[in-house]
Each structure stands twice: as structure tokens, then as C-alpha cells.
Amino acid sequence: MELQRPTVRAPEFSESVWVNTLRPITMASLRGSVVLIQIWDFTCINCLRTLPYLRAWYQRYSDLGLMMIGVHTPEFSFARDGNQVKTAVGRLGISWPVVLDNDQVIWQSYSNHYWPTIYLIDTEGYLRYAHAGEGGYAQTERAIHALLEQIHPQRQFPDPIAPLRHEDAPGAVCYPTTPELQLDAIGNPQKPVKTPALYNIPEQRPDDHFYLNGWWLQSKDGLTLAGENGDILLRYRAASVHGVFAPSPDPVDQALGLMDPLLIRISLDGEPLSPDYYTEDLFNMENEACLRVDHARSYALVQNTDVRARELVVKINGSGFTFYAFSFGSCLDPEASILSQH
């Protein structure tokens, strides 16, 4: 495994709040260890899909000198709250230290451009490897081996772990998809405002947009349902759909969990969602696909077995529901996609 030349030292961490450690960590204190730093965000679906591999590497190599640090650089304002990050870290099974990078100080010190990005730092503190986005897991693990050999020159390391997700397996096919959609992708003629306004879904609905029905208002970087009932209709093309939702726009409510969970229903192409398309976040109630929104986070809405133009409807019952973004997966499980053709 070819590494970068040891010419650039990793920058020091800025002063900030830390999770999963009793005291702040410095790069200087990590000399002698191989350090894996991941810049991530708990609402970022690409970040979430890398976590099974990070957990596996931590379990395999932490006793051999691998130190892992998560740098949480938030995309949305609610994710700046330390309690929110702490809750997400616990829910996601992250046991390594995480530092809050709310003002992108660490992001900028690494000249970073993408969520997520992994950096590997050798025992002398030099940057030796970087990988942006998903994938490249075997390559990254071999880079970990190459750096750990500085500590254990005679050790035989195991083969890289096999793909942990079906979509990462050989034979998986990835397609162009709808890009992430936030406030500026609303397809209604009127644009969001900070006072309640009535929206109606138009008859003409171009792809790669979402459309509101009901009373909504803009709240910071989200859209909040102001009435008791409302809908979001999404025109998309992707293998999977994820939504960043919250039960309230209030960061205090979000952090303290003061709002009751909201129940939403999901349908696809005018029909109840097929059980074949259910995700880990959905459950069946009265023959409808339902989702309980109890925290501000990313929810897995649909896992398709093919990629084509579709129309998804999110039906909400309960004011305060707040939408921040839709994001999309591009790769299909090869077994599921083959079965769908028969």
C-alpha cells in the first residue's frame, strides 16, 4: 500500500467541546499512535454508511495502536448542539472520541471539502493518507496496516474485512441519482417565508424537486409544518431515500427531547409502500409504512430494488414537524436487484 510522503504534519485540534473523553485530546499527545481522523456529520447519509467499517476497524486495531478521532462538522444548525451530538454518538455505537467542529476550524485546517473524509496520521504526526466519500474500504484498511507496521514490524495483519453492506459487495451497480435537496429545491411556485403560508401541490411536477401541501413556514435552515396535517411530495430517481427530519424546530426542544414523537406515513407512486422497500426505520401499521420521528436526525425512508423516476409522499400528522433535507443512495444490492427482475 503506497502512502503519501511524510512531509506535512497534521494540524493541532482547536479548543472545543469533546464527547467520549474526559478531557480534550491534542495531536501532540497522540505521538506514537497511528491516528484515523474522520470529518463527518450525524445527519450525513454518506457518513453513516461508513460507520460499520470504522466500528470494525476500531475493534480490530485499537489495541494495536490505532487511535480514532471523529471531527463532527455540522451541516445544519441543530447539529451544533453538544447534547444532540452526544445522543447521536451513543445511538450510532461510536465509542471513540469526537470533537465538535461547529465553526469549521478543523475542517479548514485540513483544507477539507467533503463529508465524510478520512485522514491517516503516522506515529510521528505526519499526514500519510486521505480518502473522501464512501468506498475504498479495503484500500484504507491496508493503509492502516502499513502504518501499524511502524509499531509492529513483525506482525501479520488480517485480510481487509469483507463488504459489510450489500451495496458495497462485488456486483453492486451504482447509478446517477437526484442530488441532495434542501430549501432551495422546493418546487411550489411560492418560496418559503418565516410566517405560515398555505401551499398546494401543483399539477406540473418536474423531477428532482419536492412539493409542499398544507401550512408551512421557514425556520432557520428547515421547513416547519404550521398546521396539524401536511404533505411533502418528492420527485426523485435513486436507489434509496433518506430524510433529515425533526419533531420540532426549537433547538432546546430537540436537545432535551421535550416534543412527543410524530407519526408520518410513506407511500410510493400513489400506492402503499411495498414491504420489499421497507428500511430499518419503518414499521407497518394498518397496512401503511410508518415512521416515528422522535429526534432530529437522518431517517431511512425507502430502499428500492431498481432506479427509475418515482414519486414519494410523506404524510405528516402533527404540527412542529421540521424538514431539512432529502439525500439519496445510488447503489443497489445486487441480489435484490436481480430478484426484482424476475
pLDDT band at 214 (very low <50, low <70, confident <90, very high): very high
- Give tens-digit pLDDT for 121-147: 999 999 999 999 999 999 999 999 999
pLDDT for 99 beyond 60: yes
CB atoms within 10 A of CB 105: 15
Q: 258 by DSSP, 3-state: which?
A: coil
Cα separation of 254 and 220, whole Å?
14
**Rounded Cα gap, residues 277 and 291, in angstroms:** 13
Domains in the chain (CATH in brackets) are 18-164 (3.40.30.10), 174-339 (2.60.120.260)
- Residue 341 is predicted with a pLDDT of 41
For residues 8-24, give the mean pLDDT.
95
Please give the pLDDT value at position 335: 67
What is the pLDDT, as a whole number, of residue 115?
A: 97
- What are residue 175's phi and psi, to 5 degrees? -125, 160
Name the band, by pLDDT with cuts 50, 70 and 90, for residue 40. very high
Query: What's the Cα-to-Cα distance from 18 to each of 14, 22, 39, 254, 296, rounded to whole Å?
Result: 11, 8, 14, 20, 20
User: Average pLDDT of 85-95?
Assistant: 96
Q: At what angle do helices 137-148 and 45-61 cross, to 10 degrees?
A: 30
State the average pLDDT for the chain: 93
Query: Please, what sign has the CA dihedral across residues 278, 183, 245, 132?
Result: positive
Instruction: Read off the pLDDT band of 251 (50, 70, 90).
Output: confident
189: buried, middle or exposed (CB in 10 Å: 19+, 13-18, 0-12)?
exposed
Residue 202 has what pLDDT?
Answer: 96
268 Cα distance to chain centroid: 23
3-state secondary structure at position 262: strand
Tally: H helices and E strands in the chain: 6, 19
Residue 337 has pLDDT above 50, yes or no: no
What was the pLDDT predicted at 339?
A: 38
pLDDT of residue 342: 35
User: Which residue has 495531536 as its cell numbers?
Assistant: 27
Backbone angles phi, psi at 338, to 5 degrees: -70, -45
Q: How far apart are CA 248 and CA 318, in angstroms?
A: 10
Question: Which residue bears the cell 433518506?
Answer: 242
Q: To the nearest 10°, report the CA torsion of 331, 333, 335, 339.
A: -70
Name the residue among 281, 284, 260 with its Cα closest to residue 272: 284
> How many of the other CB atoms lie within 10 Å of CB of 290?
16
Instruction: Give CA–CA dist 99/29, Å, rounded.
Output: 15
d(CA 203, CA 187): 11
Report how far residue 255's alpha carbon sits from residue 276's, in angstroms, rounded to the nearest whole number. 34
The residue among 226, 231, 281, 232 whose CA lies nearest residue 248 is 226
